[in-house]
Amino acid sequence: MKRSSPLRPSLRRRLLVFLLIPMAVLLLLDALLSYGVALTYANRVHDRDLGGDALTLAKMLGKDPHGGRLTPQARFLLEYDPVGRSYFSVSSSRHGLLAGDGRLARLVAASVPDATPTLYNTRLDGHTLRAADVRVTTADDPGDSLTVVVAETLRDRHEQAREILLLAVVMQTFLIACVLSLVWFGVSRGLRVLEPLTARLASRSDELAPIDGPDVPQEIQPLTRTIDALFGRLRGMLALHDRFIADAAHQLRTPLAGLSLHVDRALADPRPETLSDAFDHIQRLTRRAARTSSQLLALTRAQAAPADTGDYRLLDLARLIPEAVSQRVYEAIRAGVDLGYEGRQEPLYILGDAAGLQDLLDNLIDNAVRYAGRGSDITVRLQARDGGGATLSVEDNGPGVPTELLPRLSERFFRVGGSQEQGSGLGLAIVRRIAGRHHAEVVFRNGQERGLRVDVHFPPPPAALTSTA
């Protein structure tokens, strides 16, 4: 069975949902409010009519010489109600109930004669009634008074309120449908502003230039800026890739050509002395190619790593640097070099990457061992800086470097002329790159008497981290 693909998100659908739900809630609240307003209006109209009916009937009966007697026709008209039920009662203060429902008369409180009608709610036969009573004096007997009560059920009021609500809901629903249609049309038209950007991206092949421009809406500028930042990182990675290929081709061309030459020489002359000399050259060239390759990879890793990374942690250089130096002692002895360490015993913290610092120190020591020569002294020092931070120094007593060439020592493939050592010219470039990732400064200077000294000044770590160390 073929599985259906998941529904892709849609801006139009999302906007409509965000608008439809609040509008539905507003429609419901508006319906409740409209019903309340309509019921209030219906109650006001019916109360006015009910009070007017009671007052009119009372005045008419008060002037009647028959003493408030109702004809059958009048009784029918008072009780007739096509949508509900009406009640009435007429009572005399001297003669008691004259007409109507006596139960209704018993519910009437004493009222002031010839006053305005009194409106109130009451219950009768299980129905809630709205009643109006009025008291008037009779014309033929000033000592007597008539109390007239007219009441009706609430059915008619609610029926009218529902009719008003239905009309309002129909109109408001139609209005909301029109608004949503306009929103759909507006969103569709508004999203067309993205078409130039889409066409511009579709026309590209391998171009990684920024896509942000004056025609990009400000609402999607965060997206375009993020894409531009990604393009920038990709351009950097591609440039780094191209540079690595060019550097590898440039640096490995000479040793590979030498290897081919000495292999041909060994094949052409099989004498033992020729083979021995050729194999000796092949071994040196192989080591040179291997070192150059490893240095190129190290430089590429250092260049590709971001300047700020969450993997950095608090490192104690007073413990890390002596351990790293001790790992190079036997190699220095084989090279005829006296490698020593001078530093403090108290903890000295920086924020960094332990593997990167190991590569930095190894390249500084390799550079010193290679160019200082046999019989030289190399000293690794660790000192605290004024104001916080640390300074890592590697100093040798070799031939040193001319002062005018010191600023070029960290350039890729730069080597001081006259040196007998075959290096790649990448070690100090790697050092500067790793130091830059740690926001550290690299300073090259000649020793007090002779030799070269390289200082790496590390900034202090954040106070919040040192307080928890």
Q: What is the pLDDT of residues 313-331, one digit of tens each?
A: 889 999 999 998 988 888 8
The predicted structure's pLDDT at residue 283: 82
Question: Counting beta carbons within 10 angstroms of the beta carbon of residue 88, is it exposed (0 to 12), middle (13 to 18) or buried (19 or more)?
Answer: buried
CB 375 within 8 A of CB 389: no
The predicted structure's pLDDT at residue 457: 93
Determine which of 215-219, 239-243, 415-419 has the lowest per-residue pLDDT on average. Answer: 415-419
CB atoms within 10 A of CB 410: 19
Q: How far is CA 64 from CA 49, 71, 90, in A?
A: 22, 12, 13
Averaged pLDDT for residues 245-250: 61
Which amino acid, one-letter code, is at 375? G
Q: What contacts 432, CB < 8 A, 6 or more positions away?
A: 410, 442
Query: From CA 58, how far away is CA 36, in angstroms rounded?
Result: 32
Percent of the chain with pLDDT over 90: 7
Query: From CA 416, how far away is CA 371, in angstroms rounded?
Result: 10
Q: What is the pLDDT of residues 137-191, one digit of tens each?
A: 776 667 777 888 888 888 888 888 888 888 888 888 888 888 878 877 877 777 7
Averaged pLDDT for residues 361-374: 85
- Asked if the model's pLDDT at residue 307 lies above 80, the reply is no
Tell if the pTM clears 0.75, that is, is over it.
no
- Asked if the model's pLDDT at residue 15 lies above 90, the reply is no
The predicted structure's pLDDT at residue 95: 76
Q: What is the DSSP string of 237-288?
A: HHHHHHHHHHHHHHHHHHHHHHHHHHHHHHHH---HHHHHHHHHHHHHHHHH
Q: Euclidean distance between the first and final Cα of the chain, in Å?
A: 60
Q: What is the pLDDT of residues 42-90, one digit of tens each?
A: 889 888 888 888 888 777 776 665 544 555 545 554 554 544 567 878 8
What single DSSP character describes residue 71?
Answer: -
The predicted structure's pLDDT at residue 458: 93
Q: What is the pLDDT of residues 406-433, one digit of tens each?
A: 888 877 666 665 455 555 567 787 788 8
The predicted structure's pLDDT at residue 149: 86
Q: Residue 127 — very low, low, confident or very high, per pLDDT cuts 50/70/90?
A: confident
Query: From CA 395, how far away is CA 365, in angstroms rounded?
Result: 9
Q: Is 4 left (phi over 0), alpha (psi -120 to 50) or beta?
A: beta
Q: What contacts 312, CB < 8 A, 6 or more positions away?
A: 351, 352, 353, 438
Q: Residue 250 — very low, low, confident or very high, per pLDDT cuts 50/70/90?
A: low
User: How is residue 220 written in tokens?
Assistant: 């999607």
Residue with tokens 């610092």: 357
Determine which of 120-129, 205-214, 345-354 has the lowest per-residue pLDDT on average. Answer: 205-214
User: Domains in the chain, start-ordered, CATH in brackets?
Assistant: 12-162 (3.30.450), 218-301 (1.10.287.130), 309-466 (3.30.565.10)
Q: How far is CA 96 from CA 57, 68, 75, 196, in A?
A: 17, 11, 18, 92
User: How is residue 215 written in tokens?
Assistant: 């025609």
The predicted structure's pLDDT at residue 381: 92
Q: Residue 394 — very low, low, confident or very high, per pLDDT cuts 50/70/90?
A: very high
Determine which of 37-41, 219-223, 254-258 has the lowest per-residue pLDDT on average. Answer: 254-258
The predicted structure's pLDDT at residue 383: 92
Query: Which H or E run contains 341?
Result: strand 338-343
Percent of the chain with pLDDT over 70: 77
